[in-house]
Amino acid sequence: MCPSAAAAAANDTITVPTTEGAVPPEFQAVDSSAATKNGAAAANPQQRNPYASRASDFLSNTSNWKIIESTLREGEQFANAFFDTETKMKIAQALSDFGVEYLEITSPAASEQSYEDCKRICQMGLKSKILTHIRCHMDDARKAVETGVDGVDIVIGTSSFLRKYSHGKDITYIIKSAIEVIEFVKSKGIEVRFSSEDSFRSDLVDLLSIYRAVDKVGVNRVGIADTVGCANPRQVYDLVRTLRGVVSCDIECHFHDDSGCAVANAFCALEAGATHIDTSVLGIGERNGITTLGGLIARMYVVDPEYVKGKYNLAMLREVENLVADAVQVSVPFNNPITGFCAFTHKAGIHAKAILANPSTYEILKPEDFGMSRYIDIGSRLTGWNAVKSRVEQLELDMTDEQVKDVTMKIKELADVRTQSMDDVDTVLRVYHKHVTSGKLGLRQPAVFDQLLAEHKSEAGSEKGDDEPAAKKAKLA
């Protein structure tokens, strides 16, 4: 967290207890079969979570999916990434403890150390299954199976771009070599996935012929990859739904974020029947990366909070992100879903009032489910008397609503010049309260209050000396 962000979270905000439900009862997911049986859903449509899949979405897997966590493969392709063995092991351990079902590791064909690291991670005894990612080539496959992985992810480009400029092979060759490599990996008794790189710029007939052929020889999963981040959610839905009708195996999807759709595309893929989604922590990967682990978790929590809470150790998300952020020397973005420093900070008066009454008004995620806290910022010109009243009550100052409204006007006036810290606001509240109670100050006397505040600051400053801000001392008084 950057220093100003940390200061904002620590000093300028009210921490509000996170006990009330972020999802009100009428939006809680219900067992749809039970609802249909007793007619409750029809009688009262608000009885179910509107973000859950509908009974008519018979393809949807939004409550039945797995993560293939590729920080240690796609993430190693991020411009800043260099993971030594120890760092890889720490990341692998943390992701496994978080609960991801699979970890995808860089190809052992990449380098001698990549080969050794892949072996080492396989020996860690992690809960997550270990996969490695290889070209559609027997040499790579032989190395992969030697490492002790639980499965091998095979990829080859199928678009005309990649067929022409990457490997130069035609569809017939691709199918033949895919079958050879798949059969070899299967003969070793481990999982095998076949994926078409650049799927969304590939010819649909080519794609379906390849997928049908590999499904026939018993591949565990086929993969669709939006390698250049060009696909939109509707295209994803259409392609996955079509593929669902063609293959009987699982469907994995991999989305790059070049045009900002990676999380939305992952969601639509699951709605259309995909079973596995590739993620990386903070989305790190080639160029600007792929579906973020945290973003996918946030999206899917909205759909089915109990399912997501049951599978993953959500309170660990921040630790996992900080670990990876440190390893690749980036900051967690301020607007990161769930863990961004302002993800649960409420500022505008209209929001603050409603949040204080019921957090669900402006929150779809419950911060406490992720080990996070909710904050209300009252030191800005956008604050309102209801938020200020909540702080007055926290400080146990006895004021009428009229007085709170009066002092709120003062806070706004000060915040028109600069944002007020929590200490600043507390000083204003305490000075106001002291003088209004003693009768020295009446309502709507800004000039008198300015003078009383200035006197207070100079007294506090001279008592304490110049090394501590007056507001801080006032708070301690």
Ligand X SMILES: CC(=O)SCCNC(=O)CCNC(=O)[C@H](O)C(C)(C)COP(=O)(O)OP(=O)(O)OC[C@H]1O[C@@H](n2cnc3c(N)ncnc32)[C@H](O)[C@@H]1OP(=O)(O)O
Residue 152 φ/ψ region, left for φ over 0, alpha for ψ in the -120 to 50 degree band, beta for the rest: beta
Q: Which residues of 438-461 are buried (b: 16+ CB within 10 A; e: fewer)?
A: eeebeeeeeeebeebbeebbeebe
**x/- track of binding to ligand X for residues 45-84 (CB under 6 A):** --------------------------------x-------
Judge whether 276 and 252 are in contact, CB under 8 Å. Answer: yes
Binding part of the chain for ligand X, among 41-49, 129-137, 236-244, 332-340 by CB under 6 A, reads 129-137
**x/- track of binding to ligand X for residues 197-236 (CB under 6 A):** x-----------------------------x---------
Among 87, 114, 128, 195, binds ligand AKG (CB under 6 A): 195
Q: Is 147 helix (H, G, I), strand (E, B) or coil?
A: coil
Among 92, 126, 144, 155, binds ligand AKG (CB under 6 A): 155
Q: What are phi and psi of 135, to 5 degrees?
A: -70, 165
Region 123-152 residues binding ligand AKG, contact defined as CB under 6 A: 133
In this structure, the strands spanning 129-135 and 151-157 are parallel
Q: Is 351 a catalytic residue?
A: yes
Region 48-77 residues binding Zn ion, contact defined as CB under 5 A: 74
Q: Read off the DSSP letter of residue 292.
A: B
Those residues whose C-beta lies under 8 Å from the C-beta of residue 2, and which sit 6 or more positions away, are 331, 334, 341
Binding part of the chain for ligand AKG, among 78-86, 222-230, 267-275, 443-451 by CB under 6 A, reads 222-230
Judge whether 56 and 332 are in contact, CB under 8 Å. Answer: no
Put the strands of the sheet holding 345-346 in their side by side order.
13-16, 374-377, 345-346
**Taking CB under 6 A as the rule, does residue 197 contact ligand AKG?**
yes
- Compare residues 256 and 435 and give the one whose CB is closer to ligand X: 256
Task: Quote the least distance from Cβ 465 to Zn ion, whole Å.
Answer: 59
**Taking CB under 6 A as the rule, does residue 256 contact ligand AKG?**
yes
Judge whether 14 and 387 are in contact, CB under 8 Å. Answer: yes
Q: Read off the DSSP letter of residue 256.
A: B
**Taking CB under 6 A as the rule, does residue 223 contact ligand AKG?**
yes
**CA trace torsion 66, 123, 289, 139 (10° rounding):** -100
Binding part of the chain for ligand AKG, among 35-43, 82-90, 219-227, 439-447 by CB under 6 A, reads 219-227
**Taking CB under 6 A as the rule, does residue 69 contact ligand AKG?**
no
Task: Quote the least distance from Cβ 278 to ligand AKG, whole Å.
Answer: 7
Q: How far is CA 235 from the centre of its chain?
A: 23
- Compare residues 60 and 70 and give the one whose CB is closer to Zn ion: 70
- Compare residues 155 and 376 and give the one whose CB is closer to ligand X: 155
Judge whether 254 and 286 are in contact, CB under 8 Å. Answer: no
**CA trace torsion 101, 175, 74, 260 (10° rounding):** -100
**Taking CB under 6 A as the rule, does residue 220 contact ligand AKG?**
no
Of 346, 351, 435, 456, the catalytic one is 351
- Compare residues 52 and 178 and give the one whose CB is closer to ligand X: 178
Among 110, 179, 272, 460, binds ligand X (CB under 6 A): 110
195 contact, one of ligand AKG, ligand X, Zn ion, none, CB 5-8 Å limit per kind: ligand AKG
**Taking CB under 6 A as the rule, does residue 368 contact ligand AKG?**
no
Region 149-168 residues binding ligand X, contact defined as CB under 6 A: 155-157, 166-167
Those residues whose C-beta lies under 8 Å from the C-beta of residue 419, and which sit 6 or more positions away, are 12, 379, 380
Residue 379 CA to residue 344 CA, distance in Å, equals: 16
Among 48, 135, 163, 433, binds ligand X (CB under 6 A): 135
Instruction: Tell which residue, 402, 410, 451, has the closest CA to residue 429.
Output: 410
136 contact, one of Zn ion, ligand AKG, ligand X, none, CB 5-8 Å limit per kind: ligand X
Footprint of ligand AKG on this chain (CB under 6 A)? Answer: 74, 133, 153, 155, 195, 197, 223, 225, 227, 254, 256
The residues annotated as belonging to the active site are 351
